[in-house]
Amino acid sequence: MKASVIVFPGSNCDRDAAVALQGAMTAMGDKGAAPTMVWHGDSELPDSDLILLPGGFSYGDYLRSGAMAAHSPIMREVVRRAKAGTPVLGICNGFQVLTEAGLLPGVLMRNATLRFICKDVLLRVERDDTPFTSHYKQDQVVRFPIAHKDGCYFADAGTLYLLENENRIAFRYCEADGAVTEAANPNGSSGNIAGIFNETGTVLGMMPHPERLIDPALSGTDGIHMFSSLVEALH
Amino acid sequence: MSGAAEMASEAPALSVDLIAEHGISPDEYERLLKELGREPTLTELGVFSVMWSEHCSYKSSRVWLKKLPTTGPQVIQGPGENAGVVSLGDGQAAVFKMESHNHPSYIEPYQGAATGVGGIMRDVFTMGARPIANMNALRFGSPGHPRPRHLVAGVVSGIGDYGNCMGVPTIGGETNFDPRYNDNILVNAMCVGLVDADRIFKSAAKGVGLPVVYVGSKTGRDGIHGATMASAEFDEASEEKRPTVQVGDPFTEKLLLEACLELMTEDVIIAIQDMGAAGLTSSSVEMADKGGVGIDLDLDKVPMREEGMTAYEMLLSESQERMLMVLKPGSEPVAERIFTKWELDFAVIGKTTDTGHFVARHNGVVEADIPLPALAHAAPIYERPFEKRETLPTIAPEDVKAPPSILSALERLLGSPHLSSRRWIYEQYDHMVMGDTVQRPGGDAGAVRVHGTDKGLAVSCDVTPRYCAADPFEGGKQAVAECWRNLTATGAKPLAITDCLNFGNPERPEIMGEFVGAIEGMAEACTALHFPVVSGNVSLYNETNGVAIPPTPAVGGVGLIADIAEMADMALKADGDVILLLGSETGHLGQSIYMSVMEDRLDGAPPPVDLARERSVGDLIRGFIKAGTVDAVHDVSDGGLLVAIAEMALAGKRGVDLEAAPDELPAHAVWFGEDQARYVVTTTPDKVDTIVDVAAVYDVPVRVLGTVGGDTFTLSGEAPLPLGMLRAAHEDWLPRFMTRR
């Protein structure tokens, strides 16, 4: 699998994402493979089976989170490839960039608490029929960390209706038994939404960080399966 | 430089008041005149005022700091550079330092704390290291005072926003509330970086005619005289000092970090120094002085954020996210290309000279021309008079009232401002970015994996201000010992410390006595524990209207975990495990949290630290961890034994069943006494005998406390306390305090 990780000025989970991808590639037998780190100022994107927009604070979150990165030179090419069907994964700031770039609907607002939140949360996997989630089971409860100040997903009622109706919710914040409750919602997101797909299920934006729990030494491995799903699907 | 003829000719006469406003005493001004051989210009007065400030010159502390041990086989760089460096083996090294940002954080908590974090990270990456972990030690006033809530909110959010944006995990720290910090909070930030031992960058600008390069943010009028402000006490007019606080931009610092590390892979940097306190002045003076050369600055070349700034303002500005470098001649284009890629300013603003002078020109006029030794070495050094205080009597356990119920007292202690969970704080810090955090905040020490290896670094910040206030010497010892203990509890081998010495006005003999006592105590502990000081910072004048903070020598330690698979933490692991106490028990309740919370008093001597015992128990614990003999380890500190066990139960989400305290001491002294050099461990029943036998060889007392299991906290003779109630007590206080209207 050929993967590109886009590096914006202020990205800071680019290495973490690359480590997770490379680990999955190695585990799936693709030894020696490594994601390509692509600088935001480049206008050409290498041949890629997957494009990953990492977490961080692109352009310092100035103006709005993700707003300036969405207009950097490389994003024109990312949008073109995404529309042509190349899978794109946006994590945290990457999700914010995807909404600002118009690849995903809605917006990530300031958390309801108005504070940055870093902790593990439980998520209910809503779909297991996508290249991102095939190694999970639908309704499985997984533990991923979140680390954001602007993670409150908001969209108008019509958009939310469409997302629900078209089965485009990827993950929801939930209780240990999978119940979607207000208490389990860390940031005030509409419908406890933690991640969504585009119409074709090839673009996924999510606030939680699967790349942070990929090793028992980091106190969890639930995140590995997203990367192994991708490597298997895009091999 | 030929001197006076070209000097700024219309320098206004310097009035006595103007000199005093610059924090320069009449004696110091006499000294200045002698060094310079003439009246200074206003700009020169400004340069002297910052370079001779307490903050930059350490004039009151220097003679005492020499008493701290700073060497050891693991030490690559001791005090004197931007940060200390210790070897991690395999060609790698840890670079670390802790620094205070107390005065600005009180005046403007968000920016003050944020720029403190920015400054300490710059110190670390200036040396070529990538920052891999941050910590902080915060002291606020009494929760009942009107200010702390606003200060806590601002400081925590400032620290979080800066570190989070930089993408460096904040893996722990400590927070105290004490009325003695009502008018002077402390914000001490620590950063640890990782570097290849043969790629360490230093600040000596050796060589004449070399280009002096300015990179990073533009210069503005913020932070002028920040160093001087940090060298005076507060009074009613301190609010007016708000403009001396700098404004941080973590995004620019992130770019600066990446650009500097990228440039450091090229072989072009001769010297590099961040522009921290006293900005351009201090960085250029230090680089030139260490290199034994002069330096000539053309201020017209400095990238400016605003128009019309004078030489005085440019030299004293503490605008953030700036670096000064001396490059190999001809390498400017390589460096410029990298900084342009990262969209940062780059300007050649001067060169090194053979004059031995610090020269600054602006608009064709020489605004300053000062012999470097006058700035760097002629700064006054004071042997200030000091008075040590009398030691307090040790309070007998019987003289502190017993509670009606031990477990209800535990519940009250865990829910008190002293011991309540700091989750509300650390959840605002990204503690997992970089993907190597192997111990998250809330335990004895934070720990990160050394990327790409099985090694780990444990980091802990410690001091117990109430002990230091009662007995600076024992308190200084205890701060070092507790830090050593916290690192040991993870299985790490403690390597070295950085210190941040926060005290009141050193011109008062009793404050100077506290400083001397604390240093002597720290020195003794550092020596006994082979735990040298490799970097540090002194913050004096932490007082308002003559009332000083308690002496607070914060200690930040780093330890090496040889293999993270062998690391220990404090969470109880399995039902049926046996809980053991290692260490001696005297039931010392003087200066304890129990006494403070239950009786609203703090008196008597603090618990003494027996350093020989400290070492033998610690070495034993480390051996047990390495051998896999113990499942969970936690040191006993604030609140005593029962609090330690409760913290282990909460972390492991498991109950305990404890036997009654032995009869020799009052039960509340056994459970809440704060005797030092003790650890609680758990192990499987089959290994208890091994622990008892081995400990006997090292003459370390062991007592079986009970077993792990269930979902209640059970103590023989008392009604069991559901773990959920204990957790609620522990978790509720801080969020409630922060959201109360």
Q: In this structure, what DSSP letter does residue B1 have?
A: -
Lowest mean pLDDT among B8-17, B48-57, B527-536, B727-736: B8-17
What sign has the CA pseudo-torsion B720, B724, B728, B730?
Answer: positive
Cα–Cα nearest to A170, from A211, A213, A203:
A203
Mean pLDDT computed over B674-684: 98
Residue B727 CB neighbour total at 10 angstroms: 17
Closest CA to A118 of A182, A203, A209: A209
To 10 degrees, the CA torsion angle through B17, B18, B21, B22?
-140
Q: How many helices (H) and strands (E) does chain A have?
A: 5, 11
Which amino acid type is present at position B459?
A: V
- Among the residue ranges B214-223, B359-368, B465-474, B687-696, the one predicted with the least confidence is B214-223
Query: Is pLDDT of A162 > 70?
Result: yes
pLDDT at site B3: 42
Average pLDDT, chain B: 94
pLDDT digits (tens, 9 = 90+) for B124-178: 999 999 999 999 999 999 999 989 999 999 999 999 999 999 999 999 999 999 9
User: B234 falls in which pLDDT band (50, 70, 90)?
Assistant: confident
Please say if the pLDDT value at position B11 is more than 70. no
- ipTM confidence score: 0.96
Total CB pairs under 8 A between chain A and B? 87
Token pair, residue B15, equals 């009035």
For B544, other C-beta atoms within 10 Å of its C-beta total: 18
Contact between B708 and B579 (Cβ < 8 Å) = yes
The pLDDT value recorded for residue B420 is: 97
Portion 39-98 of B in contact with A at CB < 8 A: none
The percent helix, strand, coil of chain A (3-state, each to 5) is 30, 25, 45
Residues A138, A127 contacting (CB under 8 angstroms): yes
Tens of pLDDT, residues B567-589: 999 999 999 999 999 999 999 99
Give first-to-last CA distance, chain A, whole Å: 5
Does the pTM exceed 0.90?
yes
- In chain A, where are the structural domains located? 3-234
How sure is the predictor about B66, in pLDDT bands with cuts at 50, 70 and 90?
A: very high
Active-site annotation holds for A209: yes
B569 close to A (CB below 8 A):
no
Tokens of A222: 């639930």
Query: Residue range B519-533: average pLDDT?
Result: 98
B719 burial level (CB within 10 Å; 0-12, 13-18, 19+): exposed
CA distances from B355 to A218, A220, B289, B363, B369 (A): 55, 61, 11, 21, 10
In this predicted model, what pLDDT tens digit does every residue of B235-267 receive, in sequence order? Answer: 766 666 656 677 889 999 999 999 999 999 999
Q: Where are the alpha helices (DSSP H) in B201-249?
A: 226-229
For residue B43, the Cα-to-chain-centroid distance in whole angstroms is 33
pLDDT digits 0-9 by tens, B379-419: 889 999 999 989 999 999 999 999 999 999 999 999 999 99
Q: Are B554 and B462 in contact (CB under 8 A)?
A: yes
Q: For A231, how many CA atoms within 13 A lie in the half-sphere containing its CB?
A: 21
Apex CA B504: angle with CA B501 and CA B507, to 5°?
Answer: 110
Contacts of A211 in chain B (CB under 8 A): 435
Of the two residues A120 and B376, the one the predictor is more confident about is: A120
Which pLDDT does position B241 carry in this prediction?
Answer: 63
Residue B271's nearest CA partner among B196, B331, B337, B355 is: B331
- Classify residue A149 by its DSSP letter: S
Contacts of B741 (CB under 8 A, 6+ apart): none
pLDDT, mean of residues B338-346: 95
Min Cα–Cα distance to chain B from A235, Å: 25
Query: Nearest chain A Cα to B564, which residue?
Result: A217
Count CA atoms within 13 Å of residue B46 on its CB side: 22
* CATH superfamily of domain region A3-234: Class I glutamine amidotransferase (GATase) domain (3.40.50.880)
Going by C-alpha positions, the residue among B461, B433, B426, B440 that lies closest to residue B190 is B461
- Is the pLDDT confidence value at B10 over 60? no
Catalytic status, residue B55 = yes
Question: DSSP secondary-structure letter at B214?
Answer: E
Burial B606-622 (b: 16+ CB within 10 A, else e): bbbbbbebbbbbbebbb
What pLDDT is recorded for position B741? 62
pLDDT at B237: 67
Mean pLDDT of A165-178: 98
Q: Which residues of B touch A147 (CB under 8 A)?
A: 164, 430, 432-433
Out of B160, B255, B435, whose CB is closest to A19? B435
Name the packing angle between helices B723-739 and B148-166 (round to 10°): 100
**A33 compared with B116, residue with greater pLDDT:** B116
On whether the CB atoms of residues B636 and B583 are closer than 8 A, the answer is yes
Cross-strand partners of A150: none
Catalytic residue among B101, B103, B362, B431: B101
With a pLDDT cut of 70, the percent of chain B lying above it is: 96
- Which of residues 505 through 564 in chain B touch A, CB cutoff 8 A? 564
Whether residue B438 and residue A217 make contact (CB cut-off 8 A), yes or no, is yes
